Structure 1
Amino acid sequence: MIKIDNLSYSFPNKDLYNKISFTLEEGQHCAFIGASGSGKSTLIDIIMDPERYMFDGKLEMDQNCRIGYVSQFSQLEKTKETTVFEYIAEEFIKLQEKIASICTEMETSSDIETLLEQYQEALDAFDAIDGDDYESNINKKLNLANLNKHKDRMISELSGGEFKLIQVIKEMLNKPDLMIMDEPDVFLDFENLNSLKNLINSHKKTMLIITHNRYLLNHCFNKIIHLENTELQEFDGRYIDYNFSLLQTKIEMQELAIADDEEIERNEALIEKLRERATYNAEASNGRALKARVKIQERLEARRIKAPFVDIKQPDINLVTDNEIEETVALKVNDFSVAFDEVLLEDVNFEIKSNDKVAIIGTNGVGKTTLLRSIFKNNSDSIEINDNIEVAYLSQMQGEILNESNTILEEFYDAGFETYREIRRYLSNYGFGEKFIEQKIESLSGGEKNILQLAKVSASKANMLLLDEPTSHLDTYSQIALEKAVKNYNGAVLMISHDYHFIINSMDYVLMIEDKKIRKVNMRKFRKMIYDTHFDKDYLQIEQKKKEVEMKIALALVDTDFELARTLSEELEGLIKLL
């Protein structure tokens, strides 16, 4: 389906790929993984439109290959007003209308041959996407995704998560040869995540999907492409097996690489001694010994094992406040209601103390973001924020907080920083080196934009944080860094999230939106509810433990503690067997 050979590509200030190669065969479901900003989305752009990019190497793909694409950004606001069914059926309806128009034209036209050709082309295109059964196929996909109840709703009434699933269904039904999706799981609640899993597993053609979601990775793919440190590894098999194999290889390769380094270092010391002897004593034997030792060194260098990439690119997220206050009520919400075409929330009442860490949960479309945005704007009589509380907001719509036409440098001048040096030093902690800060924000990946939002939130030194899906787009290490930062933060946090591990590990309790109301649920009840509703209890616990052990192995490799790494890998193997 696709063959990439020795492909290299760079921005002016960043190398993305260095002679990477992989193949994607017909029918494979491939997960494309790697750290935020490593170039995954750019590689997909190159595959979709190679003529637009100047790259070294070869990209081979059938020129007639039809590609379906779902972006990491929902673009709901750019969609014309239509029903869900009409939106999904757009291509079918367009072809039906074209066929009917040609038939009408043939009744009066003298150029029948041209019209017959056009008619046959349109009919072939309609048949290629199984047009005769399109209504039935749409209903089947909507049922599979548990979205049939939304068939007659207007697209504008959907949540971001619901619309993402509708986009996936639309692209699948257009029967592309290759289906590409860039983080389709972002903002999905667990019910909709299960729906996405079912849609992926029901699709029989080739798929290439960027994701950081471990649930999807564990359940949907038979090939892994991993982009790391400008290099790429491919693996035919399950993610869970790949990840274990990768860690095992890193342990072995790093140990061998260090042994090689030590041997080369010892040989270099011998060369220096022989060179010194030959300088003071010009006997032929000294020259021959030196030449022989240099040849040995060349052979050692040629067969030297390259150390695997073990650096952990984890941002140093440090959420601080200049205005710590004694425990008091930071936020009070009384009889809050909101409605658009229908009531979303009514008679909502709760309060947050100045050191509470609280998650708002609920299915997609119940009004979580609307509530959080209303608190941030503080424009309702039902919302009361303590005078000593300063609020900072992270939005799932990143353009709300970041001016994407700015460079990173301009954004932080606008945020109150005074000098280039101050900005450079501050942002280096978040993984944005000197080369990056002149970059336009619009050119960043979704994960990098979220890290930048977190850097702005932290710089505000506010004592109450409103975070809307803060883990979206973030790679695993960045999620762990954020989790730690939230736990260590001394102010109040009100957060929307569907990341149950993140909630359990960092929140005090949850506010659950159900039937247009909010109720407070303690963490013990929340855990039980999640286990009963969505997960097998053992799966959640084992997956969390597995993630912790993998992180410990990575840290052990950074410290070159191979004995610990091997011990931990045995523990990891046992956990994998349980899964």
Structure 2
Amino acid sequence: MILLQANNVSRLFGDDVLFENIQLDVQDKSRIALVGRNGAGKSTLLKILAGIEEPDTGLITKSKELTIGYLDQHTGLESDKTIWEEMLIVFDYVQEMEKKLRRLEKDIANPNIHDNEESYQQVLKDYDKLQHEFNELNGYGYKSEIKSVLHGFRFDESYFDVPIQNLSGGQKTRLALARLLLEKPNLLILDEPTNHLDIDTLNWLEGYLQGYRGAILMVSHDRYFLDKIVNEVYDISRRKITHYKGNYSTFLERKAERLEQEEKEYEKQQDKIAKLEDFVARNIVRASTTKRAQSRRKQLEKMEKLEKPLGDEKSAHFLFKTNRPSGRDVLTLNNVAVGYEPLILSEPINLALRKQEAIALVGPNGVGKSTLLKSIIGDIPFVKGVAEIGYKVDIGYYDQEQGKLSGNQSVLEELWREHPTVPEKDIRTLLGSFLFSGEDVKKTINLLSGGEKARVALAKLAMQKDNFLILDEPTNHLDIDSKEVLENALIEYDGTLLFVSHDRYFINRIATGVLELSEDGSTYYHGNYDYYVEKKAEEEERQALLNDTQNVEDNKVTKDKLSYEESKERQKEQRKLERLVDSLEVELQEAEEKIESIQKEMEQPEILEDHEKLLELDKELQEVYAKQETLLETWEKASLELESF
């Protein structure tokens, strides 16, 4: 079933056309990626499809039952509530159903209703229907669902009571996506949903979206993510849109094949046109052949001319060169600690980085990856230890925040300031390879987009010709084509790389090793991202097996080798737990009897007529229910502990 359809949709800016004649269908189980260069109009088209903006021409049609959840890449959740309170709002309708169920239960328990069989049967029917709907909407598990999604986005219980207004911008963006997933619209429209997510959260989100029941339409520069989620791609290029079946990797293959086929067809037609025109030119004036020439001319006039395939838009093309080779040992870290005194983010960190290696730093947000890079270059002191820099090592640093760019300088001045002896034409040539040509080089830095600033920072890095590049999220703000150009440049680079990235596709292509950071320090894996994932899975499986073996051995030790004192202490603890369980069971029995007593009292005719007394008893009943739930949780925990003896 088609949920949403775009027919001949266009967006115009005066005489300029951003895109036109857009045709796009979203089925009820679609998994669609919208791809294209920065500035092609992807975000604008998403807003039009979501109903936030109107198209200049064309029509958007939607099914009657369509519900849309839209995530803007620049929007975070704003609220004066706590995280838990805000997430509960999503389930207001479920909570209302729960209240209605409780009211119906009281009606069913009312003896007077049995006097009217028809009314009684109707209440039972209403109750059964509502309870079925309640179950379908996960009425008994929605709180667990909230916790699961929040944990997936790295909000544990310690965050639940935190006011949303106290969160960072990145946390608010993650929370906006979490709320959207809990709402479960039948069409998710996501603009760069992977921004601000670390690799573990990306993996969780992939798993969640793979099982999502509704349709998904997204823009993302994360190629690994796209390959995992989507099965069709719409490509916006040169104001037009083209549809491809398959994931992102398949799209790249099919697009290349299409462009190659179009080029062949164009060349074939051009060859035919040249032959026809030559025949006409040679034979039109000759009486014996003029009719055939006229026929060829008509054939030319009727022919539907193919446009020359333009292929892809202009791409950046650059290389990173080195002024001199470094020594074999580039960087050594021995048991260093990073953080901000007295807070240690990660310890101990060890690394022996050799010439021409490319090491990716991975780990959860907040563990100190960027801090480690800044400590190596001397911007932030190590809490413990020092970085040992090797012989003839020249360090070039890329800052993900582009904090080293001068906002009031032009693009040309930014590079010329640090290299005043380089001729202007040489700097312009270099900037041209980073897609800054003509008047573009006179643009002021603070007026540039995020992608343009990233290209300026990379151009500056290329001019330095250092033999050791330290890169902090170098693919941020870059479109997919620019990422691929950067990857190719780094693959060709004959120096050494140490970089932080959440782009798993990028890590896969570049890294020769992965250094994982955690609060407990570093672990090194020799290989790319896929190898790292494979080894992590093997380690987890091995650890689980060791834990099982250890449990068996521990049980054996417990039975056969415990000393007298240990046995005595365990017996004491066991008796204590037995007394606690017995006591809790007595309290639970008392609570059950109390609930039964209150319910019977509430059924008395005189009580049913006394509204205030009925409310008082209901309040008491809810308090006993709450106490019963607490007792049950404590009893379950104590019983489990007792079973371990």
For 2:296, which of 290, 293, 296 is the aligned residue? 293
Q: Is the 8 A contact 2:192 2:219 kept in 1?
A: yes
For 1:465, which of 463, 469, 475 is the aligned residue? 469
1:482 paired to 2:482:
no
1:545 corresponds to which residue?
A: none
For 1:170, which of 172, 179, 199 is the aligned residue? 179
1:531 paired to 2:544:
no
Q: Is the 8 A contact 2:362 2:500 kept in 1?
A: yes
Counterpart Cα distance in 1 of 2:65 and 2:409: 39
1:138 paired to 2:146:
yes
Question: Offset at 1:251?
Answer: 4.3
Q: Is the 8 A contact 2:7 2:59 kept in 1?
A: yes
1:33 corresponds to which residue?
A: 35
Counterpart Cα distance in 1 of 2:410 and 2:90: 38
Counterpart Cα distance in 2 of 1:318 and 1:199: 39
Letter in 2 for 1:269: D
Post-superposition Cα deviations, 1:230-283, rounded to whole Å, max 9, x if no partner, equal: 321124665566555545544443322221121112122223334xx64xx7x7
Q: Is the 8 A contact 1:36 1:445 kept in 2?
A: no
Counterpart Cα distance in 2 of 1:44 and 1:406: 34
Question: Offset at 1:295?
Answer: 2.0
Q: How does 1:100-499 map to 2 (within 5 A)?
A: 135-142=143-150, 148=156, 151-152=159-160, 165-176=174-185, 178-186=187-195, 188-235=197-244, 245-274=254-283, 278=285, 291-300=294-303, 302=304, 304-306=305-307, 308=309, 310-311=311-312, 313-322=314-323, 324-327=325-328, 329=330, 335-338=336-339, 343-350=344-351, 352=353, 355-380=356-381, 382-384=385-387, 390-397=394-401, 400-401=403-404, 408=411, 412=415, 422-434=426-438, 436-437=440-441, 449-472=453-476, 474=478, 477-499=481-503
Q: Per chain length, whose mean CA-contact separation is higher, i.e. which structure has more relative contact order (CA < 8 Å, sep 6+)? A: 1
Counterpart Cα distance in 2 of 1:49 and 1:413: 46
Counterpart Cα distance in 2 of 1:424 and 1:389: 28
359-368 or 62-71, larger mean C-alpha shift? 62-71
Q: Percent identity?
A: 26
Letter in 1 for 2:300: Q
Letter in 2 for 1:141: V
Letter in 2 for 1:167: A
Gaps of 5+ in 2: 96-133, 539-645
Q: CA 1:271–1:413 in structure 2 vs 1: closer, same or farther (change >3 Å)?
A: farther
Counterpart Cα distance in 2 of 1:68 and 1:216: 19
Q: CA RMSD in A?
A: 4.8
Counterpart Cα distance in 2 of 1:245 and 1:141: 36
Q: CA 1:6–1:156 in structure 2 vs 1: closer, same or farther (change >3 Å)?
A: same
For 1:512, which of 513, 516, 523 is the aligned residue? 516
43-52 or 202-211, larger mean C-alpha shift? 43-52
Q: CA 1:236–1:528 in structure 2 vs 1: closer, same or farther (change >3 Å)?
A: closer
Q: CA 1:45–1:511 in structure 2 vs 1: closer, same or farther (change >3 Å)?
A: same
Q: Is the 8 A contact 2:223 2:505 kept in 1?
A: no
**TM-score normalised by length of structure 1:** 0.68
Gaps of 5+ in 1: 97-126, 536-579
Counterpart Cα distance in 1 of 2:89 and 2:341: 26
Post-superposition Cα deviations, 1:63-98, rounded to whole Å, max 9, x if no partner, equal: 9976533344586xx9789865456457779x99xx
Q: CA 1:149–1:483 in structure 2 vs 1: closer, same or farther (change >3 Å)?
A: farther
Question: Offset at 1:296?
Answer: 1.3
| Secondary structure of 1:455's aligned partner | helix
Question: Offset at 1:471?
Answer: 3.3
Counterpart Cα distance in 1 of 2:88 and 2:409: 38
**TM-score normalised by length of structure 2:** 0.62
Q: Is the 8 A contact 2:186 2:213 kept in 1?
A: no
Larger radius of gyration: 2
Q: Is the 8 A contact 1:158 1:365 kept in 2?
A: no
Q: CA 1:234–1:501 in structure 2 vs 1: closer, same or farther (change >3 Å)?
A: closer
4-13 or 424-433, larger mean C-alpha shift? 4-13
Q: CA 1:183–1:518 in structure 2 vs 1: closer, same or farther (change >3 Å)?
A: same
| Secondary structure of 2:497's aligned partner | strand
Letter in 1 for 2:202: L
Post-superposition Cα deviations, 1:336-371, rounded to whole Å, max 9, x if no partner, equal: 331589642134344545654322222343221222
Post-superposition Cα deviations, 1:300-340, rounded to whole Å, max 9, x if no partner, equal: 2x1x3455554475432311234554445456576333158
Counterpart Cα distance in 2 of 1:86 and 1:341: 34
Question: Offset at 1:169?
Answer: 1.3
Question: Offset at 1:470?
Answer: 2.3
